[in-house]
Amino acid sequence: MAFNALIIIATCCRAFVGILLVSLMVMNSVHADPEALQDFCVADTKSSIFMNGRPCLNPMEASPEHFMTSALRKAGNLSANPLGFSVIVTTPANMPGLNTLGLSMGRIDMAPGSAIPPHIHPRGSETIFVVRGALNVGFVDTSNRLFSHKLVTGDVFVFPKGAVHYLQNIGKITAFIVSAFNSQNPGTAIVSLATFASTPAIPYEVLSKAFAISVQEVSQIRKSLGGT
């Protein structure tokens, strides 16, 4: 009888441990960046140490200024980008208190008729809030289904982590968008540049087969995008 009870207890313990491990895996999966092990880790922007993030200042050296930035206060120079948009982001370089917190923000300004080409953020999901203007936005899932929508002032839209997505200004005024990420460094890879303007180049024959175009057309696209 006692032996059977021990078997039941052992079985229950194994089941509990299994449930606990699955729960921990699910909880951890919602975070794009590793969890911090202290209250904060103000980035030491002068350190030359290369690591996954930035080294921490002594907490006693932290100040309120480390946790704020005015980087997003002014719009970027739209004329400096042939595509007609500007993106300014918060990073541990301009806001040291962000370090290890697993989040960041950005300011996007888009001239009328401009578009941010299809791109991905490999390390974070992105939420955008339209402060001013009218947009057409969308992302593509792994079954190649497009989720697109027209947004106006006050609307919010989310792009899942790693999904190819775009933004297009369909209004008559300069659009102003605020974006937020669940990563301090979500990264950005523009699909066309990553594909046709990589260094070294992806073999021309591979791109020719992938896009059903000739090698000569691949070469022409690469040159138009600044590749070699």
| Residue 144 and residue 84 share a domain | yes
d(CA 83, CA 81): 5
Number of folded domains that form the chain: 3
Average pLDDT over residues 176-187: 96
| Residue 69 and residue 105 share a domain | yes
Average pLDDT over residues 203-207: 96
* pLDDT for res 14: 58
Which residue in 156, 162, 155, 108 sits closest to 139, CA to CA?
162
Is position 165 annotated in a ligand binding site?
A: yes
* pLDDT for res 54: 85
| Confidence grade of residue 30 (pLDDT, cut at 50, 70, 90) | low
Is position 149 annotated in a ligand binding site?
A: no
Q: Are 131 and 179 in contact (CB under 8 A)?
A: no
- Asked whether residue 98 is assigned to any structural domain, the reply reads yes
Q: Which residues contact 17 (CB under 8 A, 6 or more apart)?
A: none
- Asked whether residue 83 is assigned to any structural domain, the reply reads yes
Domain assignment of residue 220, given as a range:
197-224
Q: Are 156 and 128 in contact (CB under 8 A)?
A: yes
| Residue 103 and residue 73 share a domain | yes
| Residue 92 and residue 2 share a domain | no
Q: What is the CATH number of the domain that holds 128?
A: 2.60.120.10
> Which SS3 state, helix, strand or coil, does residue 167 take?
strand
| Residue 218 and residue 118 share a domain | no
| Confidence grade of residue 50 (pLDDT, cut at 50, 70, 90) | confident
In the predicted model, is pLDDT for residue 17 greater than 60? no
d(CA 186, CA 188): 7
- Asked whether residue 87 is assigned to any structural domain, the reply reads yes
| Residue 94 and residue 165 share a domain | yes
Whether pTM exceeds 0.75: yes
* pLDDT for res 110: 98
Instruction: Please confirm whether the linkage preceding 200 is cis (ω < 30° from 0).
Output: yes
Residue 61 or residue 29, greater confidence:
61
| Confidence grade of residue 10 (pLDDT, cut at 50, 70, 90) | very low
Is position 217 annotated in a ligand binding site?
A: no
Is position 31 annotated in a ligand binding site?
A: no
